[in-house]
A = this chain, B = another copy of it.
């Protein structure tokens, strides 16, 4: 159940509220990624501390390990990982195409060998939805094929047609929560439109734009959003899958996107990279050796309240787990705080100015 609370007038930004089986989500929102039943290095209590409202679980990973017998035995992912907030699950399609081996696509689904032990597996629209139902997903994603970039038009069109046939079959499988369709169509605006319109005619609780985090240049990414958004209903949430950097998320909110997920905050943390409003900083860099300041002045996260850049640098250089833990917390806090800020700016009618200032001030790989 989605409520559009306010639509920005200068941009397409939206302030919304999504009610799920496990709680309310204020949008725009970022969803930390809990790939294998754990947001990497972060506990559920810490997710609450950084004000995570919803997390993402990966169907493919949980299907492969620990497996659905275990997930069913524990009564689903919420109980298994002790997270009682909302969970969105992907359908497994993206990982089947990016991680698994020896794939064979048929009308029924995808035969593959899993990346762990090479065991033969099968996922189709019915199986993907049944797995998400067993996980107790609050938002289940349709099973789709996510073509690589670049993609020949003929392949993109054939793939899209099959994904749309799968969408109709996914809709028939009961799940405990909502179902979101996924707009595909690669870099072809007419296919994007066709995809969006077809999904909307079937009717889902929300719509994702897929195939936008597959190595394409940023203009292509934005173009895919712009080619899809006009054909999505205003009264349903929109979700850009697998994105993005902070300025990308700001730009996508300006284009009408409500939800994001991305591994960048935790993945980059493991390399010593922290996000700030001026861009990323790599704490391994030598200027931080003697730095007594926090990662970011004014930040209220656990890392910034308690620890210096110099200490964090030492932890990263010494490969101490506490270092990547603290930077992961800071990065998640940064992402979720950015979402909070955008919600405020939209409510105040000042989002357009915020957007311009943020994107101007933010530089990737800022020099230290």
What is A's interface to B at a CB cutoff of 8 Å?
Answer: 36-38, 40-45, 65-66, 70, 73-74, 80-82, 289-290, 292, 302, 306-308, 310-311, 314-315, 317-318, 320-326
Complexed CA–CA distance, A315 and B322 (Å) = 17
Complexed CA–CA distance, A45 and B45 (Å) = 13
What is the minimal beta-carbon distance from A314 to any residue of chain B, in angstroms? 5
What are 19 pairs between A and B in contact, CB < 8 Å? Answer: A36-B315, A37-B311, A37-B314, A37-B315, A38-B320, A40-B320, A40-B322, A41-B325, A42-B322, A66-B289, A66-B310, A70-B289, A74-B292, A74-B308, A80-B308, A82-B311, A321-B321, A321-B325, A325-B325
- Extra inter-chain contacts (16) besides given A74-B292, A321-B324, A321-B325, CB under 8 Å: A36-B318, A38-B320, A38-B321, A40-B320, A40-B321, A41-B322, A65-B314, A65-B317, A66-B289, A66-B317, A73-B310, A74-B311, A80-B308, A80-B311, A80-B314, A82-B306
Within 8 Å by CB of A306, from B44, B290, B308, lies: B44
Contact at B290–A320, with CB atoms within 8 Å?
no
Given contacts A307-B82, A311-B37, A315-B38, contact A290 B70 (CB under 8 A): yes
Counting from the closest, the 10 A-B pairs by CB-CB distance are A41-B321, A36-B318, A38-B322, A38-B320, A66-B314, A82-B306, A73-B290, A80-B311, A36-B320, A82-B307
The oligomer's copy count stands at 2
Complexed CA–CA distance, A317 and B318 (Å) = 24
Contacts of A308 on B, CB cut-off 8 Å?
Answer: 74, 80
Complexed CA–CA distance, A80 and B290 (Å) = 10
Contacts of A325 on B, CB cut-off 8 Å?
Answer: 41, 43, 321, 325
Contact at A310–B74, with CB atoms within 8 Å?
yes
Contacts of A43 on B, CB cut-off 8 Å?
Answer: 302, 322, 325-326
Contacts of A315 on B, CB cut-off 8 Å?
Answer: 36-38
Contact at A70–B310, with CB atoms within 8 Å?
yes
**Who on chain B is nearest to A44 by CB?**
B306
Most buried by B among A38, A40, A70: A38
Complexed CA–CA distance, A317 and B65 (Å) = 9
